[in-house]
Amino acid sequence: SNTTTEVPLSLESAGVALDAEAQVSQIQQALVNNLYWVQGKDEQFANAHDYYTALAHSVRNQLLQKRIRTAKTYAQERAKTVYYMSAEFLMGRQLGNGLINLGLYDTMRHALADCGLDLDELLEREAEPGLGNGGLGRLAACFMDSLTTLNLPAVGYGIRYEFGIFTQLIRQGHQVEAPDKWLSYGNPWEIARPDYRVEIKFGGHTEVYKKDGDDDYQVRWIPAQTVIGIPHDVPVPGYGTENVNLLRLWKAEAGEAFDLDAFNAGDYFGAVANKMISENITKVLYPNDETRQGKELRLQQQYFFVACSLQDIIRLHLRDHGSLENLAEFAAIQLNDTHPAIGVAELMRLLIDEYNFEWAAAWQITQRTFGYTNHTLMPEALEKWSVDLFGKLLPRHLEIIYEINHRFLAQVKLRYPNDPDRLERLSLIEEGGERRVRMANLACVGSHAINGVAALHTELLKQEVLQDFYELWPDKFSNKTNGITPRRWLLQCNPRLAQLISETIGDSWITNLDDLKQLEAHLDNEVFRHAWQAIKQENKWSLARYIHDTVGIKVNPDSMFDVQIKRIHEYKRQLMNVLHVITLYNRMVQNPGDHVVPRTVIFGGKAAPGYAMAKLVVKLVNAVADVVNNDPIVAGRLKVVFLPNYNVSQAQRLFPASDLSEQISTAGMEASGTGNMKFALNGALTIGTLDGANVEIREEVGADNFFLFGLTTEQVAACKAVGHNPWCYYDTNPELKRTLDVIASGLFSPGEPDLFLPILDSLLVDDPYMVMADFAAYVQCQEHVSRTYEDRDRWVRMAILNTARIGKFSADRTIADYAREIWKVKAVPVAGE
Of the candidates 788, 814, 810, the one whose C-alpha atom is nearest the C-alpha of residue 799 is 788
Nearer to ligand GPW, 381 or 742 (CB): 381
Nearer to ligand GPW, 232 or 678 (CB): 678
> At its nearest, how many Å lie between ligand GPW and the CB of residue 136?
3
Task: State the Cα–Cα distance between residues 813 and 409, nearest whole angstrom.
Answer: 37
Q: Residue 567 catalytic?
A: yes
Please tell me which residue in 566, 573, 580, 606 is annotated as part of the active site.
566
Give me the half-sphere count of Cα atoms (radius 13 Å) on the Cβ side of residue 16. 4
Q: Which helix (H) or strand (E) holds 602?
A: strand 599-604
Nearer to ligand GPW, 126 or 290 (CB): 290
Nearer to ligand GPW, 190 or 670 (CB): 670
> At its nearest, how many Å lie between ligand GPW and the CB of residue 809?
11
Task: State the Cα–Cα distance between residues 772 and 777, nearest whole angstrom.
Answer: 10
Q: Residue 485 catalytic?
A: no
Q: Which ranges in 115-254 belong to alpha helices (H)?
A: 119-123, 135-149
Please tell me which residue in 80, 138, 248, 375 is annotated as part of the active site.
375
> At its nearest, how many Å lie between ligand GPW and the CB of residue 553?
28
Nearer to ligand GPW, 153 or 668 (CB): 668
Please tell me which residue in 160, 339, 457, 567 is annotated as part of the active site.
567
Q: Which residues is 599 bridged to in the sheet?
A: 560, 638
Nearer to ligand GPW, 557 or 675 (CB): 675
Nearer to ligand GPW, 289 or 468 (CB): 289
> At its nearest, how many Å lie between ligand GPW and the CB of residue 668?
12
> At its nearest, how many Å lie between ligand GPW and the CB of residue 202?
24
> At its nearest, how many Å lie between ligand GPW and the CB of residue 752?
32
Please tell me which residue in 678, 698, 805, 808 is annotated as part of the active site.
678
Nearer to ligand GPW, 647 or 782 (CB): 647
CA-CA distances (angstroms) from residue 701 to 484, 525, 593, 798?
A: 16, 19, 37, 9
Of the candidates 84, 123, 120, 121, the one whose C-alpha atom is nearest the C-alpha of residue 236 is 84
Beta strands in 650-801 (DSSP E): 660-663, 685-688, 707-708
Nearer to ligand GPW, 90 or 236 (CB): 90
Please tell me which residue in 57, 232, 438, 572 is annotated as part of the active site.
572
> At its nearest, how many Å lie between ligand GPW and the CB of residue 676?
9
Q: Which ranges in 322-454 belong to alpha helices (H)?
A: 327-330, 343-349, 359-369, 387-393, 395-415, 420-426, 439-446
> At its nearest, how many Å lie between ligand GPW and the CB of residue 337?
4
Task: State the Cα–Cα distance between residues 132 and 165, nearest whole angstrom.
Answer: 6
> At its nearest, how many Å lie between ligand GPW and the CB of residue 711?
18
Of the candidates 341, 346, 347, 342, the one whose C-alpha atom is nearest the C-alpha of residue 327 is 347
Residues 6+ apart with CB under 8 A from 816: 150
Give me the half-sphere count of Cα atoms (radius 13 Å) on the Cβ side of residue 705. 23
Count Cβ neighbours within 10 Å for each residue of 295-311 and write b for 16 or more, e otherwise. Answer: eeebbbbbbbbbbbbbb
What does 217-253 look like in DSSP terms, one character per residue? EEEEEE-SEEEEEEEEEEEEE-TT-S-EEEEEEEEEE
> Which residues of this protein are in contact with ligand GPW, per CB under 6 A?
133-136, 139, 289-290, 337, 375-376, 381, 453, 482, 670-674, 692
Task: State the Cα–Cα distance between residues 36 and 611, nearest whole angstrom.
Answer: 48
The values of phi and psi at residue 12, to 5°, are -120, 30
The most distant pair of C-alpha atoms in the chain lies apart, rounded to whole Å, by 94
Q: Which residues is 603 bridged to in the sheet?
A: 564, 642
Judge contact between 500 and 472, C-beta under 8 A: no
Nearer to ligand GPW, 482 or 686 (CB): 482
Judge contact between 39 and 186, C-beta under 8 A: no
- Strands 449-452 and 370-373 come out as parallel
Three-class DSSP category at 560: strand
Q: Which helix (H) or strand (E) holds 41?
A: none
Task: State the Cα–Cα distance between residues 800 and 515, nearest whole angstrom.
Answer: 13
Three-class DSSP category at 265: coil
- Strands 244-254 and 154-159 come out as parallel
Q: Residue 517 catalytic?
A: no
Provide the 10 A C-beta neighbour count for residue 268: 11
> At its nearest, how many Å lie between ligand GPW and the CB of residue 761?
26
Task: State the Cα–Cα distance between residues 621 and 603, nearest whole angstrom.
Answer: 8
Provide the 10 A C-beta neighbour count for residue 423: 14
Judge contact between 547 and 643, C-beta under 8 A: yes
Nearer to ligand GPW, 458 or 682 (CB): 458
Residues 6+ apart with CB under 8 A from 600: 555, 556, 559, 560, 561, 562, 638, 639, 640, 641
Nearer to ligand GPW, 88 or 259 (CB): 88
Nearer to ligand GPW, 231 or 452 (CB): 452
> At its nearest, how many Å lie between ligand GPW and the CB of residue 832?
34
- Strands 370-373 and 331-336 come out as parallel
> At its nearest, how many Å lie between ligand GPW and the CB of residue 621?
20
Q: Residue 41 catalytic?
A: no
Please tell me which residue in 485, 674, 686, 803 is annotated as part of the active site.
674
Q: Residue 572 catalytic?
A: yes
> At its nearest, how many Å lie between ligand GPW and the CB of residue 159?
15
Q: Residue 49 catalytic?
A: no
How many Å is the Cα radius of gyration of the chain? 28
Of the candidates 304, 315, 780, the one whose C-alpha atom is nearest the C-alpha of residue 576 is 780
Residues belonging to the active site: 375, 566-567, 572, 674, 678
